[in-house]
Structure 1
Amino acid sequence: MEKSSNGNVGFVTLVSIVAAVGGLLFGYDTSVISGAIGFIQTKFGFGNAMQGWVVSCLMIGAIIGAAFAGFLSDRLGRKKMLIAAGLLFTIGSISSAVASNITIFVTARIIGGIGIGVSSTLVPLYIAEIAPSKHRGRLVSLNQLAVVIGISAIYFVNRAIVNAGSQTWDINYSWRWMFGCGLIPGILFVILLFLVPESPRWLHKKGLEKKSFTILEKINGTQQAKKELEDMKKSIQKETSGSLSLLFKSGYRTALLIGVVLAILQQVTGINAIMYYAPEIFKKVGVGTNASFTETIIVGLVNFVFTIVSLWLIDKAGRKTLLVIGAAVMTVSLAVVGFEFNAAHPNGTLILIFILLFVAAFAVSFGPIVWLVIAEIFPTSIRGRATAIASVALWLADYVVSQFFPVLLGKTGASMTFYIFAILGVVAFIFSLTVVRETKGKTLEEIETDWLKS
């Protein structure tokens, strides 16, 4: 591809796609459990509480990975840590597939989870640091699209594997194949990462100005590269230290609040309860195993289609507008699902429709935008560690939801469970409307300066 004075959009798009394969690993590994959990539970014989732990143990690993990802990426670089994430995911996939008991399985899931925690934190951050401001929204959102592709792909993989043998075969072997197939994207991710450059902002922070400028020039063109390099210098001069205490300065405190609260709200409104337990939810309204897997595939396809829609909208409508509208539609959808589950004879078709509406609204709002906002609102000198704080909050919330959802479903019923999610949807709507700020079209350095003015 030729480099012009206006930069090379094709190059940065290819680099972003390579990085976004980490999102595919994220989607694959978090959702593969939805098709496997029933067979694993039968194979090893455990109850609802243990079911929650088997599903949520991945998040323990993700919390660990996210906690260390920021610090290590600020020291070693974004690229090296992403390669490490791919290797951990691959090890976790193989080990899960060959596990001879539930303890080994859980340990393998935690190892894979560490890789997922690292990649979920650093992929959007890396793309945000390399992307031109006018394309940053849709390029960072490629990560969420890859997550959704991973989720959708595993639904098809799970269904194909389930249909390949008898019920006895499913219990003993199908879930092993579900996890083992993760080896393919894991190895692909590691290989492709050797072909992409390091983050230019990380290079500049480490004093490698010439290398940083070379990458910026290839992405943005000479004139814009010079401007961004100058903005980086000014930004670093303003920051007296690279310690996390910077986040507690006036202005940056708001950035930290927005990052952490949005991360939590993304999870506690119920998206991963639906993604992880979709087949079990549909069984609640009386559909069989094959039908529940088919309806789960429909959920994945809707998620995929509307994530593509978000790529088109995110740099046009803006972050805040989509969050507000998305939260409103999500809340109404959850309330209707809760109401239907409370009926004497729940309408399975209506429940499916409003779950799909919820997923569609999430896919154009809280799905991609939360990761984007977390990646772009923090100062350059501590972006890795600050992003890690928000990512840890997100994975902690994910852990709580996935651990206690089956227990909550069993004790209070589906209706009350979805009503709780709807109430939290109201909180998400109010917070997005009153606290979140718009960052559309601004460079990372301009966003940083805006915080200091507030």
Structure 2
Amino acid sequence: MSYQRKRNTGYIMKICGVAALGGLLFGYDTAVISGAIESLKAYFNLSPAETGWAVSNVVIGCVVGAFAAGPLAGRYGRKKALMLAALLFTVSAVGSSLAPTFTWFVIYRIIGGLAVGIAATVSPMYMSEVSPKDMRGRALSMQQFAIVFGQIVIFYVNFKIASIASEAWLVEMGWRWMFASGVLPCILFCILVFIIPESPRWSVMVGRDDQALAMLTRVSNAEHAKNVLREIKDSIRQDQQSSKQKLSYADKRVRFILFVGCMIAILQQVTGVNVMMYYAPVVLKTVTENAQEALFQTIWIGVMQLVGSVIGAMLMDRMGRIPLMRWGTLGVIVGLLITSYALYTEATGYFALFGMLFFMVFFALSWGVGAWVLVSEIFPNRMRSQGMSIAVGCMWLANFVVSQTFPMLNDNPYLFSQFHGAFPMWIFAACCLFSYWFVSRYIPETRGVSLEKMEDVVMAKRYRLPLSETQPVPLQDGKP
């Protein structure tokens, strides 16, 4: 017998890597503000509320972009949606670096937010649809790698710009160079996105079976490609019949799956991760000698997040999603408590940094990797683009609330005088306790489950049924 490869792993990782460039720019675009915020505050003479707006305005664009991504990816395809994101990233990088006023700065940052919202939704959606089920966790982990790598790069760029310039130059011009540095990866994404094929599942949904079969054959082999194509078509046909024949039952299932997907996205944000990313220099400046040292320490936060992402990617398809999420959540709580203790006692040195690094490792290996994997695979075919769009939109709404309120809490004279910056960390720790319970109660183990059979597994977890992925949810009087 002639050998037929099970899959073309190299090709899968290459096209997923190109899609993950959207994640790299996501990380780059959202984290650049961490090094620029103090200079922006001085240049535009911002109040605490305006400082929060300078950081969180990008999230408004992210929310709109995420909600628009589903219809865009559904109507025009995943590839064209990524092309649009690449163009918007470029416009934002150029415009925000040249902004003459705070209003124009906000406008261009919101445009960048549109790009982030689209890329954050479509990139993992695309990767989940082109990856075989037994390597889906590894492929989707590339999204988190890319986000973290983008953050590390801009943390380093910010530090190098700050290390060679005077404080006055940073206020006048340095922050502009920080934003302008994003132009190069934007151009790279614009070029490479043209080489990837369209998602086979979207191709089938719009009647392009030949195009889907060609792509699936390149991923694996001719026989396996035909079987996968048949599964996709059967799944789409069943979804269409379910929508017509069992509308009320289908709606209840859809509502629950959407609820779970949105909660995963929201809970990722209320861990406090973006306070660690966006405001790390602000948090650390109270326990470091100067702003430059705080910027340098921020680089290590990104590095440890990358380490945690590598560990998460290695364990996601071996250990399973849920055990990793639970243990990671406990580690996140410990990290928050260490950080809050250092802030509360005003301990100088590296104690606060150690707590933040501990937090980032456990966040990255659990919520960092796991949330994107789960949100990308938990929705059935008929609602994946819309479901991911709504879930990621909710993620950015939660991001906005956290980013906008943190400086207002942190700079509150009474809270700061009493708790020295520890109070927000305690709020995040309480949110993480709730997250642990939610993961244990409502999120099913999705390792090794095909996308076409995901719906039954989710519903089985909802009703605590001992159900394998191949069994349909039983009906009694039209209800599971």
TM-score (norm 1): 0.96
Deviations 1:136-174 (A, max 9, x none): 101011011000000000010001111232111111111
C-alpha contact 1:243 1:382 (8 A) present in aligned 2:
no
Aligned to 1:193: 193
Deviation at 1:447, TM superposition (A): 1.3
Deviations 1:320-350 (A, max 9, x none): 111111111111221232233222x424422
Q: Report 1:108-123 matches (<5 A).
A: 108-123=108-123
Deviations 1:38-69 (A, max 9, x none): 00111110111000001000000000100100
Structure 1 residue matching 2:447: 3-state secondary structure: coil
Q: Percentage identity across aligned positions?
A: 37
Q: What is the rounded CA distance, in whole Å, between the counterparts of 1:185 and 1:5 in structure 2?
A: 34
Q: What is the rounded CA distance, in whole Å, between the counterparts of 2:274 and 2:5 in structure 1?
A: 44
Aligned to 1:11: 11
Q: What is the rounded CA distance, in whole Å, between the counterparts of 2:76 and 2:33 in structure 1?
A: 32
Q: 2:262 aligns with which of 251, 256, 260?
A: 260
Q: Report 1:364-375 matches (<5 A).
A: 364-375=365-376
RMSD: 1.8
Q: 2:284 aligns with which of 282, 285, 304?
A: 282
Q: 1:340 aligns with which of 342, 352, 356?
A: 342
Q: Does 1:438 align with 2:445?
A: yes
Aligned to 2:298: 296
Aligned to 2:435: 428
Q: Report 1:132-143 matches (<5 A).
A: 132-143=132-143
Q: Does 1:84 align with 2:101?
A: no
Q: Does 1:182 align with 2:182?
A: yes
C-alpha contact 2:288 2:294 (8 A) present in aligned 1:
no
Q: What is the rounded CA distance, in whole Å, between the counterparts of 1:165 and 1:347 in structure 2?
A: 26
C-alpha contact 1:329 1:361 (8 A) present in aligned 2:
yes
284-293 or 101-110: bigger deviation:
284-293
Deviation at 1:247, TM superposition (A): 9.6
Q: What is the rounded CA distance, in whole Å, between the counterparts of 1:165 and 1:275 in structure 2?
A: 23
Deviations 1:283-334 (A, max 9, x none): 1224311110111011111111221111111111111111111111111221
Q: Report 1:53-68 matches (<5 A).
A: 53-68=53-68
Q: What is the rounded CA distance, in whole Å, between the counterparts of 1:336 and 1:14 in structure 2?
A: 40
Q: What is the rounded CA distance, in whole Å, between the counterparts of 1:284 and 1:298 in structure 2?
A: 17
Name the aligned partner's letter for residue 263 of structure 2: V
Structure 2 residue matching 1:308: 3-state secondary structure: helix
C-alpha contact 1:34 1:275 (8 A) present in aligned 2:
yes
Q: Residues 332 and 246 (structure 1 numbering): CA distance in 2 closer, same or farther, change over 3 Å?
A: farther
Structure 1 residue matching 2:449: 3-state secondary structure: coil
Aligned to 2:28: 28
Aligned to 1:50: 50
C-alpha contact 1:269 1:422 (8 A) present in aligned 2:
yes
5+ residue gaps in structure 2?
Answer: 460-471, 474-479
Deviations 1:338-366 (A, max 9, x none): 233222x4244222111111100011010
Name the aligned partner's letter for residue 308 of structure 1: V
Q: 1:418 aligns with which of 409, 425, 435?
A: 425
Q: Report 1:205-216 matches (<5 A).
A: 205-216=205-216
Name the aligned partner's letter for residue 233 of structure 1: K
C-alpha contact 1:27 1:148 (8 A) present in aligned 2:
yes
Aligned to 2:274: 272
Aligned to 1:311: 313
C-alpha contact 1:247 1:253 (8 A) present in aligned 2:
no
Number of equivalent positions: 451
Deviation at 1:207, TM superposition (A): 0.7
Q: What is the rounded CA distance, in whole Å, between the counterparts of 1:163 and 1:291 in structure 2?
A: 10
Q: What is the rounded CA distance, in whole Å, between the counterparts of 1:113 and 1:242 in structure 2?
A: 36
Q: Does 1:144 align with 2:144?
A: yes
Q: Residues 423 and 348 (structure 1 numbering): CA distance in 2 closer, same or farther, change over 3 Å?
A: farther
C-alpha contact 1:16 1:142 (8 A) present in aligned 2:
yes
Q: Report 1:211-230 matches (<5 A).
A: 211-230=211-230
89-98 or 345-354: bigger deviation:
345-354
Deviation at 1:227, TM superposition (A): 1.9
Q: What is the rounded CA distance, in whole Å, between the counterparts of 1:135 and 1:243 in structure 2?
A: 30
C-alpha contact 1:338 1:419 (8 A) present in aligned 2:
yes
Q: Residues 334 and 233 (structure 1 numbering): CA distance in 2 closer, same or farther, change over 3 Å?
A: same
Deviations 1:180-215 (A, max 9, x none): 111111111111011110000000011111110111
Q: What is the rounded CA distance, in whole Å, between the counterparts of 2:390 and 2:329 in structure 1?
A: 23
Structure 2 residue matching 1:314: 3-state secondary structure: helix
215-224 or 428-437: bigger deviation:
215-224
Deviations 1:202-249 (A, max 9, x none): 000111111101111111222322221111122112113798989963
C-alpha contact 2:25 2:89 (8 A) present in aligned 1:
yes
Structure with max Cα Rg: 2
C-alpha contact 2:243 2:250 (8 A) present in aligned 1:
no
Deviations 1:432-454 (A, max 9, x none): 11211111012211213434626
Q: Which runs of 4+ in 1 moved over 6 A?
A: 241-247
5+ residue gaps in structure 1?
Answer: none
Q: What is the rounded CA distance, in whole Å, between the counterparts of 2:304 and 2:217 in structure 1?
A: 38
Structure 1 residue matching 2:57: 3-state secondary structure: helix
Structure 1 residue matching 2:347: 3-state secondary structure: coil
Aligned to 1:402: 403
Name the aligned partner's letter for residue 259 of structure 2: L
